């Protein structure tokens, strides 16, 4: 049997692993190397065991911990246990949909693995050297744990390039049509696991879509603007809440086409649904110049700051769209504003939106702080997993 390779950390760099944070960066390693995805024993400078981990020789994050239990073995049975545990957790959660995040990376003890279930179809992203090495085993265990026979791989994220891995997509298990219909809060939503964003859809906003529907109804919002609408999930929610007009803005024509189809699919084809294929920032400026106003606005932009290094530029972009959004709201209007940028924390996002309010000359109350749906958990040891943050504001 081959001897397990060791990674030894520099003196004083053990703290994160001792606190069960799963990442070790390049600069924390004193010695040791391994092949991409190979399981390594991570030790402190004094030889103390810290973790079993996957090694990523080209990534700034050189080590991703699988387990902090020295007695555990990283073998097929390990992945079977972790996957079954994650699936069992989702079965216990109050999820009003058959579209579910089954595996949420580090939060489920499987760093670099994202798996969503859309009805009877699984869609997976293998984003680290470790998950790439165990890809076939993971695919087998996913199908066994869920009973699904179709698994589509969406390992086409730019993150794989940082791991020295090529982009890849296609059926890993089963085959057939890539379009799937899911039910969410009684609404019907379609997606394409091959062409849609991420694994096909944004399940993390499920609870916030329901929240919008409730508040549109509660506050009597008649005219709603949905910016960066993608395939119109928030637009469906607004109509479900009783909105009379919803304007959906996105720069993707295919996404808008699906958004239009969602109106008909959910019985809103006779409502005043308007669609704008436009740059959101320019649309907001033009709407302000026209003197247009709205009762509720959703700002759900793409990732402006993938890392903290992009935070300054992203902060300016977030501030600008929120300033415009607040100015376009009627008094008493509702703003749901989000950031999915890992480089922008919740506290910084709050400061950005507060600055936008000052620049707009607007007072607003925070009704609620928003986050991802409950099937996108975070752990207390890994705050970086809390990527989606948002605020629900009521304009004075």
**Is residue 199 one of the residues assigned to a domain?**
no
Q: Does the pLDDT value for residue 94 go beyond 60? A: yes
Q: Does the pLDDT value for residue 380 go beyond 90? A: yes
pLDDT above 70 as % of the chain: 98
SS3 333: strand
Closest by CA position to 201, among listed 230, 176, 175: 230
Would residue 150 be called left, alpha or beta, if left means φ above 0 and alpha means ψ between -120 and 50 degrees? beta
Q: Domain with 17 in it: what CATH number?
A: 2.30.130.10
Q: Does the pLDDT value for residue 230 go beyond 90? A: yes
pLDDT one-digit tens code per residue, 171-182:
999 999 999 999
Residues 6+ apart with CB under 8 A from 17: 9, 24, 42, 50, 51, 65, 68
Averaged over 4-18, what is the pLDDT?
95
Predicted confidence at residue 305, as pLDDT, reads 65
Q: Does the pLDDT value for residue 307 go beyond 90? A: no
Q: Domain with 105 in it: what CATH number?
A: 3.30.750.80
Q: What are phi and psi of 351, to 5 degrees?
A: -65, -40
Same structural domain, 220 and 135: no
Closest by CA position to 139, among listed 109, 174, 168, 101: 174
Per-chain mean pLDDT for the chain: 96
Count: domains in the chain: 3
pLDDT one-digit tens code per residue, 23-76:
999 999 999 999 999 999 999 999 999 999 999 999 999 999 999 999 999 999
Averaged over 14-27, what is the pLDDT?
96
SS3 255: helix
**395, 330 contact by CB (below 8 A):** yes
When pLDDT is cut at 50, 70 and 90, the band that residue 313 belongs to is confident
Residues 6+ apart with CB under 8 A from 90: 100, 101, 102, 375
C-alpha to C-alpha distance for 352 and 337, rounded to whole angstroms: 11
**209, 336 contact by CB (below 8 A):** no
Same structural domain, 229 and 366: yes
Averaged over 214-236, what is the pLDDT?
98
**59, 132 contact by CB (below 8 A):** no
Domain boundary among 184, 212, 237: 184
- Other CB atoms within a 10 A radius of the CB of residue 12 amount to 9
Domain boundary among 150, 184, 218: 184
pLDDT one-digit tens code per residue, 110-169:
999 999 999 999 999 999 999 999 999 999 999 999 999 999 999 999 899 999 999 999
Predicted confidence at residue 4, as pLDDT, reads 85
**Is residue 196 one of the residues assigned to a domain?**
no
pLDDT one-digit tens code per residue, 187-198:
999 999 999 999
Predicted confidence at residue 304, as pLDDT, reads 85
Predicted confidence at residue 303, as pLDDT, reads 85
C-alpha to C-alpha distance for 233 and 43, rounded to whole angstroms: 47
Domain boundary among 125, 152, 184: 184
Q: Domain range holding 260?
A: 204-395
pLDDT one-digit tens code per residue, 278-291:
999 999 999 999 99
More confident residue, 311 or 392: 392
Predicted confidence at residue 280, as pLDDT, reads 98
Strand positions, DSSP E, the chain: 5-9, 23-25, 29-31, 39-43, 49-55, 61-67, 99-104, 113-118, 121-126, 150-155, 168-173, 179-184, 187-192, 223-227, 245-250, 272-277, 294-299, 329-339, 364-371, 389-395
C-alpha to C-alpha distance for 199 and 114, rounded to whole angstroms: 8
Task: Say what the pTM is.
Answer: 0.95
Q: Domain with 210 in it: what CATH number?
A: 3.40.50.150
DSSP string, 151-166: EEEEE--THHHHTT--
Q: Is 340 a catalytic residue?
A: yes
Q: Which of 143, 221, 229, 340 is catalytic?
A: 340
**Is residue 192 one of the residues assigned to a domain?**
no
**Is residue 1 one of the residues assigned to a domain?**
no
Same structural domain, 166 and 306: no
C-alpha to C-alpha distance for 98 and 179, rounded to whole angstroms: 15
Q: Does the pLDDT value for residue 102 go beyond 90? A: yes
Same structural domain, 389 and 265: yes
Averaged over 298-310, what is the pLDDT?
83
């Amino acid at each position: 049997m081959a001897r397990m390779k060791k990674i030894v950390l520099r003196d004083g760099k053990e703290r994160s692993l001792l606190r069960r944070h799963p990442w070790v960066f390049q600069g924390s390693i004193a010695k040791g190397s391994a092949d991409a995805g190979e399981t390594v024993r991570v030790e402190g400078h004094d030889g103390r065991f810290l973790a079993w981990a996957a090694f990523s020789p080209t990534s700034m994050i050189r080590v991703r911990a699988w387990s902090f239990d020295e007695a555990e073995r990283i073998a097929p049975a390990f992945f079977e246990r972790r996957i079954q545990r994650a699936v069992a957790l989702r079965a216990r959660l109050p999820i009003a949909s058959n579209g579910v995040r089954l595996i949420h990376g580090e939060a489920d003890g499987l760093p670099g693995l994202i798996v969503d279930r859309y009805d009877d179809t699984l869609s997976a992203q293998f984003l680290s050297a470790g998950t790439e090495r165990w890809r076939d085993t993971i695919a087998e265990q996913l199908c066994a744990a869920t009973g699904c026979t179709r698994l589509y791989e969406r390992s086409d994220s730019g993150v794989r390039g940082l791991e020295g891995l090529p982009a890849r997509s296609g059926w890993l298990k089963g085959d057939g049509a890539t379009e799937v219909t899911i039910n969410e809060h009684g609404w019907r939503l379609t997606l394409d696991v091959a062409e849609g964003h991420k694994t096909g859809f944004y399940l993390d906003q499920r609870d916030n879509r329901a929240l919008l529907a409730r508040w549109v109804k509660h506050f009597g919002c008649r005219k709603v603007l949905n910016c960066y609408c993608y395939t119109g999930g928030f637009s469906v929610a607004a109509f479900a809440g009783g909105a009379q007009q919803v304007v959906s803005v996105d720069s993707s024509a295919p996404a808008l086409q699906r958004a239009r189809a969602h109106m008909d699919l959910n019985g809103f084809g006779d409502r005043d649904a308007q669609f704008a294929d436009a740059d959101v920032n320019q649309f907001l400026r033009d709407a302000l110049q026209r003197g247009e106003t709205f009762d509720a606005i959703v700002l759900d932009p793409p990732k402006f700051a993938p890392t903290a290094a992009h935070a300054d530029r992203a902060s300016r972009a977030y501030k600008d769209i929120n300033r415009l959004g607040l100015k376009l709201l009627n008094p008493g209007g509702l703003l749901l504003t989000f950031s999915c940028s890992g480089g922008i924390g919740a506290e910084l996002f709050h400061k950005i939106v507060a600055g936008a309010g000052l620049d707009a000359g607007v007072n607003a109350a925070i009704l609620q702080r928003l986050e991802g749906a409950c099937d996108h958990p975070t752990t207390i040891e890994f705050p970086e997993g809390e990527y989606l943050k948002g605020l629900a504001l009521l304009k004075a």
